[in-house]
Amino acid sequence: MDDVWSGAGVDLHLGPDAGDGRRIGLERALRDAIRDGRLTPGTRLPATRRLAADLGVSRGTAKAAYDQLVAEGYLTARQGSGTRVAALPPPAAEPPQAPAHARAPRFDLRPGSPDVGAFPAAAWLRALRRAIATAPSLAYDYGDPRGRVELRTALSGYLGRARGVIAPPERIVITSGYVQGLALLTRVLDGATVAMEDPGLPFHREVVRHNGGTVRPVPVDAHGVRPEALGEAAAVVVTPAHQYPTGVTLHPERRRALGGWARAHGGLIIEDDYDGEFRYDRQPLGALQGMAPGQVVYLGTASKTLGPGLRLGWMVLPPHLVDAVADAKLHSDHHTETIGQLALAELIDSHAYDRHVRACRLRYRRRRDQLLDRLGTNRTVRGIAAGLHALVDVPDEAEALARAETVGLALSTLGDHWHNPGADLPQGLVVGYGTPRERTYPQALEALAKVLDG
């Protein structure tokens, strides 16, 4: 007998109750699946012969159930296109409950994201095709928790020449982004105290706490994080290339002092190089890791250069942490998805990644310049040498946010980033210029100017 269940056709999971008869039970099961959304409008259903064979009923029973639901408007049946789920009228709309200020803003100048409209779709597709065409069959199996060797090898060369990172492939672990890297390190540190820049991103502090770490704020001034305030912390998370959110660059003396602290205390420096490629007025600064590879964990991602939707990041680890982090990765998600890794490796090896980064650097520098031109010289704007955001001084954040709401502009404040917010702390607007699309960016700047001009 042919195994009809495993053959060709459309699978449909139903559990009809035959207590009131097979036809009625089948009708009810189909009707319920459509009502609760398990069968969505447009879904093609199996032919009656196939459905009857799968459920162990007669074809006449299956056809009668379909005919009844067609008559009730749940299904449509057309010659040549089969039987499909009909589009039911939507339920009666409830009166809106959200207040007016909850509506999506017209313009978004919050930091944190690049212009995803600039994603190099054509180059990525070419890289993806080449990667799939040359990938060994084992690439589709479970793999090394550190990630594909093709990407680790490509990153080793790229990070060495572009960021000054000492990155042997065997010391690289591929992650699904910075957050996963920070979480894995926190688990490996096993409840230790992690110093984090103040001000800094609140979500990253929550990642550390959620994974068992204790957060200690360490102040940032005009020269970057202050190493003398680290004390007995086991690790410190820093953004030396372009501090978030103040935008300052870590002073060379502070770099040396951080390395000295790590060697003297056996501490670990976690370097978040989130937008290190984007420096505008001179050559990008090399990563801190190159000065002290035995004390620094370097974390980078494709989120700012390509897009956060790819979920691709990397860690370059000191030798003594590789096995522990790889084991934590194994027990977290086994390994990061493979196909994207192979495509990114191809993109890097073909230098299409370099070309894309250079094009983005020019695009974001133009945006930075437009921001400065529109705000003029009567505004104090900080952190403009690099990155995708700037800090604009304002006397009253609450007042600025209220004005921003009236013009449909979403902004972030410096006050959102302090470990312990207070009225006596400096105030400002953290303006991201990566997110808006090219066609709307000038309008977003006009809205910002209205907010600042009162």
The pLDDT of residue 92 is 58
Show the domains of the chain with their CATH numbers: 21-85 (1.10.10.10), 107-116+355-453 (3.90.1150.10), 119-352 (3.40.640.10)
The pLDDT of residue 445 is 96
Residues near 251 by Cβ (< 8 Å), separated by ≥ 6? 223, 224
> In which residue ranges of the chain is pLDDT below 50?
1-2, 4-6, 100-101
| Rounded alpha-carbon distances, angstroms, from residue 425 to 111, 272, 395, 416 | 20, 25, 11, 11
Cα–Cα distance, 386 to 276 (Å, whole number): 8
pLDDT in tens, 224-264: 999 999 988 999 999 999 999 999 999 999 999 999 999 99
Cα–Cα distance, 268 to 294 (Å, whole number): 9
The pLDDT of residue 367 is 96
Helix/strand/coil for 141 = coil
Cα–Cα distance, 34 to 308 (Å, whole number): 35
Exposed, middle or buried by CB within 10 Å (0-12, 13-18, 19+), for 230?
A: buried
Compute, in degrees rounded to 10, the torsion defined by CA atoms 7, 132, 141, 152: -170
The pTM assigned to this predicted structure is: 0.85
Q: Which residues of 371-394 are buried (b: 16+ CB within 10 A; e: fewer)?
A: beeebeeeeebebbbbbbbbbbeb
**Residue among 400, 370, 401 at smallest CA distance from 384:** 370
Amino acid at 449: A
Q: Which residues pair with 412 in a beta bridge?
A: 430
Q: Which helix (H) or strand (E) holds 405?
A: helix 397-406
pLDDT in tens, 255-312: 999 999 999 999 999 999 988 899 998 777 789 999 999 999 999 999 999 999 999 9
Residues near 266 by Cβ (< 8 Å), separated by ≥ 6? none
